[in-house]
Amino acid sequence: MPLALYALAAGAFGIGVTEFVIMGLLLEVSRDLGVSLAAAGLLISGYALGVAVGAPILTILTASWNRKHVLVGLMVIFIAGNAACALAPTYGLLMAARVLTALTHGTYFGVGSVFAGGLVGRDRQASAIAIMFTGLTLANILGVPAGTWLGQQFGWRMTFWAVTAVGIAALAILVVLVPSDRSKPVPSNWRSDLRAVSRPPVLLGFVTTVLGFAGVFALFTYIAPLLTEVSGFADSAVSPILLVFGGGLVAGNLLGGRLADRRLKTAVIGSMAVLGVVLAAMTVGFHDRVAAVALTGLLGAAGFATVPPLQAWVLSKASGAGASLASSLNIAAFNLGNALGAWAGGVVISDGPGLTALPLAAAVFPLLAIVVALAAMGLERRRPVCQQPIQSSAS
């Protein structure tokens, strides 16, 4: 695989850390800025909103730019946003800085996915995308625990300074290792791009992504109380068990890429089916400690095994400049799934059958995703979509 893919992964690592590390620092932020814990939690929602809004807008505005220039520019905004977070004197300015940083998220992964696919042959595009997303999975294993520890020891602002330094390093790696886009820039035609992504199969692809990841986060958002209250682990055991989850993320991400390269549609349906089985098994498995640890790792593997197939599947439905917009919107769909899953899980716990029923309720989402994906594939068979290889951006 080209070294440029690992440069893209370095940027993904920094973005992953800044998205998730705030979850472990909410108490420190709320105390320092004098806001409630609930208000501090809105910093997560604000970031998700920034991703959803920034992904389509920035992708459309930069559609005719050299893709390397887009990625470098996004990393510059990322660095500025994290530095602003570290310096923010008030809660409002911290929220604004978080939203600014989030604007880069969807477009980076969207454009980066297209760029990664263009660096390799068509038979390895999903694996190339998986390598870029490995940066995101490693952020959960290494970056988030390290950033949380740093913030707890030296203050939450130090964590954002550290992420700023990671961004500077990622920027340097991108500049050196990512080749320039040699293709001739084409004038942006956002109306044509919107028509490309508004076709029913593409829209159903987005819905599949939302539902699939809603299943993951309906349970993962509440993994700590499940492990302590249902499985009976001590609070101190949660972090080590989450490392098992992180290991599953990396393995599942790479495996999903390989499977998608061989049989894309089978990988989409199969990964969703496995995710549904793992979630359902947790209903019983979480009552046994050994099974709970094993299933937590399997959840990470099954959840992220869906990412490369879903991203490659959406890309297969769009071509040209529309591919970047479709890719970016699918990243926004992942984040919308995160929000939907967390909300649905909360409803099950507070207004439904309770915490022990959460795994079975979460399993409904990937089953719905399979139904939607099959409907999309049926539409494709009736009205074939012109599928072209992702245009190489470096050759």
CATH 1.20.1250.20 fits 190-385, yes or no: yes
pLDDT at 386: 45
Within the chain, where are the H helices?
Answer: 3-20, 26-33, 37-61, 67-87, 91-118, 125-138, 144-154, 156-177, 190-197, 200-220, 223-225, 238-262, 264-285, 289-305, 307-316, 321-351, 358-382
pLDDT at 182: 58
pLDDT at 86: 95
Average pLDDT, the chain: 82
The dihedral through the CA atoms of 100, 101, 105, 107 has a sign that is positive
Q: Higher confidence at residue 141 or residue 344?
A: 344
CATH superfamily of 1-178: MFS general substrate transporter like domains (1.20.1250.20)
Read off the pLDDT of residues 331-385 as tens digits, 9 standing for 90 and up: 888 878 877 887 888 888 878 888 889 999 999 999 999 999 998 888 776 655 4
Residues of the chain with CATH 1.20.1250.20: 1-178, 190-385
- Residue 281 CB partners (closer than 8 Å, separation 6+): 295, 359
pLDDT at 393 over 50: no
Under a CB-based contact definition with an 8 Å cutoff, are residues 48 and 339 in contact? yes
pLDDT at 37 over 70: no
User: Quick one: what percent of the chain has pLDDT higher than 70?
Assistant: 91
Read off the pLDDT of residues 75-106 as tens digits, 9 standing for 90 and up: 999 999 999 999 999 999 999 999 999 888 88
Can you tell me the mean pLDDT for 100-124? 81
Give this prediction's pTM: 0.73
SS3 121: coil
Read off the pLDDT of residues 198-230 as tens digits, 9 standing for 90 and up: 778 788 888 998 999 889 888 887 887 888 888
